[in-house]
Amino acid sequence: MIKLENISKVYRTKEIETLALDNINFEVREGEFVSVMGPSGCGKSTLLNIIGLLDEPDKGKLNLNNLEILSYEDKKTARMRNQLVGFIFQSFHLIKELNVYDNVELPLIYRKTPQAERKKRVMEALEKVGLVNRMQHYPSQLSGGQCQRAAIARAVAGDPKIILADEPTGNLDSIIGHEVVGILADLNSKGTTIVMVTHDEMIAKSTHRIVRLFDGRLVG
């Protein structure tokens, strides 16, 4: 489902160059739930951004869903992100001006899904995370756990094959964190491939496989 070959990424400023990823070779099979671990600044988020086509590698090949990414043309990557990938972020990143329903609807709007179909899918996604009764609430009216559940609903509303979760439990207490991982595990059991960045060893151990990064290199 995901294949990275010799992927490298360097961030350049006027003064310094930072090697964020150094010759990464890494594969995730369809239906796998993989944790990415490593200390802060080791390149975990960069790896996720490259898999999610939010960033472009300087070197190497990326293959998503048996399709090699040859061009990072804006319209094409936007379409692939929309149809193939669902993102979950540590800080939820719900649009604060929109209520839960409108936030979850977002990927379907960009897919130009008809309204009736959109409504059905949003309701299904909200049911999966148990947030139907909060769909008219705004992010500021929700707890951290509820925000993350809304973010998960947004990520799954478009029924993506891949979910990329960047420290989804990082801002939650352990009980809520395990609840969120439970929802992800449930999605994975239904066939969704998940790559999750986490600092929590316990949570990482509950996934199929752990990949460790250090200074931009794969170490295990």
Partner 1 sequence: MLKNYFKIFIKVASQNKLFTFLSLFGISLTIMFVMIFSMTISKITTGSGPEKNLKKIVFCQRVSVHETHNGKKVGGFSISGCGRSLCEDHLKNVKNANIISMYSGPQPWEFIFNGKYQSKLQNQTDAEYWNLYDYKFLQGRPYNKEEVTKSSNLAVITRSLKELLFGSDENVLGKTVRYTSMNLVVTGVVEDPPKTAQNAMGDLYFPYTLIKNNDPTEEYLGGFIIAFKANSSKQFGPIRNEAQEMVARLDAADTLHSVFLSGPYSQVEKMMVGYGDPEEYSVGTSLFKYLMYALAFLLLPAINLMALNFARIHERGEEIAVRKSFGAASRVLRGQFLFENILMTLTGGVIGIILSYLVVAFLGNSLTLRVNFMGSVPLSFSFNYLVFIAALISCLIFGLLSGYLPAIRLSRMKPAVYLKGGEL
Sites of contact with partner 1 (CB under 8 A): 11, 20, 45-46, 49, 52, 54-55, 74-75, 78-79, 81-83, 87, 89, 91, 93-95, 97-98, 102, 105-107, 109-111, 154, 158, 166
If the CB atoms of residues 88 and 131 are measured against partner 1, the closer one turns out to be 88
| Two tokens, residue 218 | 């794969």
If the CB atoms of residues 10 and 176 are measured against partner 1, the closer one turns out to be 10
d(CA 118, CA 108): 6
d(CA 164, CA 64): 13
Report how far apart, in Å, the C-alpha atoms of 183 and of each of 50, 86, 118, 142, 177 are: 24, 14, 22, 18, 10
Question: Would you call 189 exposed, middle or buried from its count of C-beta atoms within 10 A (0-12, 13-18, 19+)?
Answer: exposed
d(CA 21, CA 154): 29
| Two tokens, residue 180 | 């969120």
Contact 122, 108 (CB under 8 A): yes
State the minimum distance, in angstroms, from the CB of residue 217 to partner 1.
Answer: 18
If the CB atoms of residues 59 and 110 are measured against partner 1, the closer one turns out to be 110
Across-strand partners of 28? 2
If the CB atoms of residues 31 and 170 are measured against partner 1, the closer one turns out to be 170
If the CB atoms of residues 69 and 208 are measured against partner 1, the closer one turns out to be 69
State the minimum distance, in angstroms, from the CB of residue 205 to partner 1.
Answer: 26
| Sheet containing 209-214: order of strands | 85-89, 162-166, 193-197, 33-37, 209-214, 217-218
State the minimum distance, in angstroms, from the CB of residue 210 to partner 1.
Answer: 22
State the minimum distance, in angstroms, from the CB of residue 121 to partner 1.
Answer: 13
If the CB atoms of residues 111 and 208 are measured against partner 1, the closer one turns out to be 111
